[in-house]
Amino acid sequence: MYAVLSSINPLYSLSGLAVGLLVGFTGVGGGSLMTPLLVLLFGIHPATAVGTDLLYAGLTKISGSMVHSLNGAVDWRITRRLASGSAPAAALTLLALSYLGKDAKTTGELISTVLGFALILTAVTLIFRSWLLKHVGALIDRADERRIGWLTVALGVVLGVLVSISSVGAGAIGVTALLMLYPKLPTVRIVGSDIAHAVPLTLIAGAGHWWIGSVDWHLLASLLVGSIPGIMIGSYFASRVPDRVLRPLLAGTLALVGGRLAF
């Protein structure tokens, strides 16, 4: 226990606290915030930043998934469809990354580029969610159940690749896409299904990065020390902060950081 406590880095814990607060305020996944922070501010190798964040996300989302499940807010049909696409896609992506090697220059550049574009896509999703739901959702609404099923599996494939490489995508992007595919379902069931799917996806991807050797356990412990109370505090005060202020500010920040990483 002493060895673990002595390895805690206060700067990482403060970063975890800041990201936890923002996640609690906005509901946007920590990967969109923590991974670029670790890469750009602390100079941590992109593979290590992604691998550590994935394992952290998988462990912390287990409790959220259990709560949603107990409340009947998980559509397991949707979760199975997503997982049938994301699990094999994540496994193949991780095999490709292991072939390249976690310390290779090509790997770092690939992760940084994909992370940058994923952040820009997340920012676009946050800003134009209403427009996307109205126009794109109207087109998808004409599709039959079989086609919706295949589109959900395809979404799982996209999320499996994105999350395995960048740790970003299972939150804002996944929820918005599901809202377009299943407009008649209550939002709480969409969110619950997305969180339930994120658990196996992030655990598989995190375990794969652990196998590759791109998980820093001391970094993980330091982040948890700050992020857990940060999420609790942010969630408590979330209703007191205007969404019209936070969402554009967060989207703008993600777009700028994404551009910095991608180009």
d(CA 80, CA 63): 19
d(CA 150, CA 177): 13
Domain boundaries, the chain: 2-262
CA–centroid distance for 57 within its chain: 8
Contact 219, 44 (CB under 8 A): yes
- The H-assigned helical ranges of 101-144 are 105-127, 129-140
**Residue 251: CB partners within 8 Å, gap ≥ 6?**
122, 123, 124, 126, 127
d(CA 122, CA 40): 18
Mean pLDDT by 10 residues, the chain (263 residues): 63 85 67 82 87 81 73 88 95 89 76 86 82 76 83 94 85 82 83 84 90 88 84 68 66 72 69
Q: What is the pLDDT of residue 155?
A: 94
d(CA 154, CA 28): 22
Reduced to 3 states (helix: H, G, I; strand: E, B; else coil), residue 213 is coil
- The H-assigned helical ranges of the chain are 2-6, 10-26, 31-40, 46-70, 76-100, 105-127, 129-140, 145-166, 172-181, 187-212, 217-237, 243-262
d(CA 120, CA 5): 36
Q: What is the pLDDT of residue 103?
A: 67
Q: What is the pLDDT of residue 154?
A: 95
